[in-house]
A = this chain, B = another copy of it.
Amino acid sequence: MYLSDGKTTQFAHNVQPSLAWPPFQNPVLCEKPWFRGYVYPDVLTPQSSISSTESLVISDPDFQSEDLNFLSRSERYDAAVKKSAQMILKLREYGISDPEEIYCYKSVFRGNHHEALGLHFNMFLPTLYTQCNKEQFEKWVPLAESFKALGTYAQTELGHGTHLRGLETTATYDPATQVFVLNSPTITSIKWWPGGLGKTSNHAIVLAQLHTQGKCHGLHAFIVPLRSMNTHIPLPGVVVGDIGPKFGFDEVDNGYLKLENVRIPRDHMLMKYAKVEADGTYVKPPSAKLTYGTMVFIRSMIVGEAGRALAKSCTIAIRYSSVRHQSEIRPGEPEPQIMDYQTQQYKLFPLLATAYAYKFVGQYMNQVYHRITGDISQGDFSELPELHALSAGLKAFTTWTASEGIEVCRMACGGHGYSRCSALPDIYVNFVPTCTYEGENTVMMLQTARFLIKSYRQASAGHQLSGIVSYLNESERRLQPQSVSSRPTVVNVNDLASLVEAYKLRAAKLVELAAKSIQQELQKRVSQEDAWNNSAIDLVRASDAHCHYVVVKLFAAKLGEIGDTGVHSVLSTLALLYALQGIQQHSGDFLQTGLLSVPQLSQVSQRLKELLAQLRPNAVALVDAFDYCDEMLNSVLGRYDGNVYEHMFEWARRSPLNKTEVHESYHKYLKPLQAKL
């Protein structure tokens, strides 16, 4: 037991010399020197060239910059543009072109912040690659790749977000002059939010309602020049600017765009699929499903990002909890590490388990996406609806939990978590928008619910479902009234497979409850749509249970891939903790559906406490295994060497308010006030 062993065997590093601990005594897991390396490249990421890419950035003096938190917003934007420009040159200089390596390189140099040219890379270029016809490709891609054309992607409007059909910007074709005339006809139609739109971009891909020959053909994409490519001054009819400060993303110039009779040539409409001919004849695109893929890809990336944001936060909070001493457990003894408090473990260890779970889920979705992309290229769309539904729900499920979790980590660091030097405020404000962008989370949950209800109805009608929802067949049989009494109480709270089964049956039951709620509403003679809205709480709950099941299932499946018994053992403990804590949090569901009994719930509580104590000695090693270097974390509290307090003091002294001993406000306001009273 670690409590009786004293503190010396619990802790890998973070040993602050002034606290006079025996230096560098290894905990259980860190005794195995391969653990860190093993978990990192093999379990968490497929690449091992990453550490060399990392060191390229870290050792480069050009990237040592002032803490962004000390700068004004305009200076932060300035610093971000500078970094983006430097990075582009460095990547060329080093000849880095592999996408994974580029991603890694950018992650390190960005730290917890965003890239000024983010949308140029993530949206403008990919849209050109996929939606230009041959002539357009030859014209625009070289311009964009040489950054002559700096671009963004302008979809969301001031009054319209999630509901794309509601967008109001118009592009009206004039066959006489062979141009499209673009307009923002109302205040609510002003483009709003696109990153890089305010000051950086000289072009935007604008989504607008296409009107030609007196008819509206819905949303299409147009390349709209915004600023002169020589002077960067906005072009006539283009009202463009920054939308003002936000909760985070301080270094990004999210912008607005009001179009006033802006005329662009016909070939500025992206014409790989849909077309407008010279005389104004509209040619329909072959399939509407093609845009699904990108959404699925971005959402699966966000799931991985949830894992990373939470992993960073856990790294900071768990390391700091091992440095921080507070209060007393036993009177008269020295103040213990706050990591020794059961309440602190209960806050942080389930989040640590969640971070591992989401990293594995992110990997899985990435693999599935790549597999399905292969199928799609061969014309097989069969798995796409399922993946689309799954990616929507998992994006919502993981971003909500991770956002809350980051704040729990921050508050677990006490007052110091509130300082910008902890990095936790930055991680939070830069991650939490994922709950809203790329599909608002509640809307995403309801999309998944739509797929679940459809599948449930198919199963009820006797269809055999395949894929992840196949359990709805099974449950349809199991949950028949006649078989209820014969259903055995199967759950063994010490067995992960049995818990996965319990999560599955919970999901099945909640999907059934939601479907029945809709049915009941319909019996009140309301419309399908109102019945859906009046059951929305149940539908979100069903989606949530479905996603939770998928995460537990994938975590359990991942364990099967791990050969080493030591690593397998500790990750099994994490997986069990993840599953049991979810049951405790949703104990009402498990009791209500008869999947667990009251005595079993007490067992769950007891087992959870044992698991916390069991994980305690390995907690620091488990966050070290995420392998975030200090330069990436940029957190004084999360420093690898644990030398927190000296560096907090040093950081504070660099605060802009300390540039002068006496702030000018003293002379301007306080001294005159004293003189008047």
Contact = CB atoms under 8 A, between A and B. Distances in A.
Contacts of A477: none
Nearest to A116: B665
Contacts of A646: 187
Contacts of A187: 18, 645-646, 649
Given A200-B670, A341-B536, A342-B537, A77 B591 contact: no
Contact of A415 (B77, B437, B673): B437
A18 B186 contact: yes
A421 B598 CA distance: 49
B78 A163 contact: no
Nearest to A244: B655
Contact of A326 (B78, B162, B200): B162
Given A256-B652, A658-B242, A327 B159 contact: no
A527 B331 CA distance: 11
Contacts of A421: 244
A148 B676 CA distance: 11
Given A186-B18, A242-B655, A657-B242, A163 B327 contact: yes
B330 A527 contact: yes
Given A163-B327, A187-B18, A247 B668 contact: no
A612 B127 CA distance: 43
Interface string A436-458: 11001111001000000000000
Given A343-B442, A537-B346, A326 B425 contact: no
A288 interface: no
Interface string A260-295: 000000000000000000000000000000000000
Given A414-B161, A530-B329, A645-B188, A244 B651 contact: yes
Contact of A673 (B85, B198, B407): B85
Contact of A166 (B234, B245, B327): B327
A116 to B, nearest CB: 8
A376 interface: no
B18 A245 contact: no
Interface stretch (A47-55, A66-74, A361-369, A460-468): A66-74
A50 to B, nearest CB: 26
Contacts of A89: 673, 676
A172 interface: no
B425 A247 contact: yes
Contacts of A39: none
Contacts of A664: 78
A253 to B, nearest CB: 6
Interface in A466-521: none
A241 B658 contact: yes
A420 interface: yes
B331 A244 contact: no
A466 B151 CA distance: 70
Nearest to A187: B645
A462 B323 CA distance: 45
Interface string A324-358: 11111111000100001111101100000000000
A232 interface: yes
The copy count of this chain in the complex is 2
Interface in A403-436: 403-404, 407, 410-411, 414-415, 417-421, 425, 429, 432-433, 435-436
A670 B673 CA distance: 48
A150 interface: yes
A529 B18 contact: no
A159 B592 contact: no
Interface in A638-676: 645-646, 648-649, 651-658, 661-666, 668-674, 676
Interface in A548-587: 584, 586-587
Contacts of A410: 247
Interface residues of A, number: 142
A546 to B, nearest CB: 17
Nearest to A669: B85
Interface string A166-182: 10000000000000000
A534 B244 contact: no
A653 B358 CA distance: 40
A156 interface: yes
A81 B536 contact: no
A325 B188 CA distance: 11
B70 A655 contact: no
A88 interface: yes
A299 interface: no
B328 A657 contact: no
A603 interface: no
A139 interface: no
A102 interface: no
Contacts of A134: none
Nearest to A253: B657
| Candidate in A328, A536, A584, A589 with the most chain B CB atoms within 10 angstroms | A536
B147 A343 contact: no
Contacts of A605: 537-538
Interface of A: 3, 18, 69-70, 72-74, 77-78, 81-82, 84-85, 88-89, 92, 146-148, 150, 156, 158-163, 166, 186-188, 190, 192-193, 198-200, 231-234, 241-248, 253, 256, 324-331, 335, 340-344, 346-347, 403-404, 407, 410-411, 414-415, 417-421, 425, 429, 432-433, 435-437, 440-443, 446, 527, 529-530, 533-538, 540, 584, 586-592, 594, 598, 601, 605, 608-609, 645-646, 648-649, 651-658, 661-666, 668-674, 676-677
**Which 3 A-B residue pairs are closest in the complex by CB-CB distance?**
A587-B588, A242-B657, A244-B655
20 contacts: A3-B530, A74-B657, A78-B664, A85-B672, A89-B676, A147-B677, A159-B325, A161-B414, A187-B645, A192-B648, A199-B657, A199-B666, A232-B666, A241-B653, A343-B537, A346-B537, A417-B436, A418-B436, A588-B588, A588-B591
Given A163-B335, A244-B657, 4 more contacts: A162-B327, A199-B666, A246-B418, A588-B590
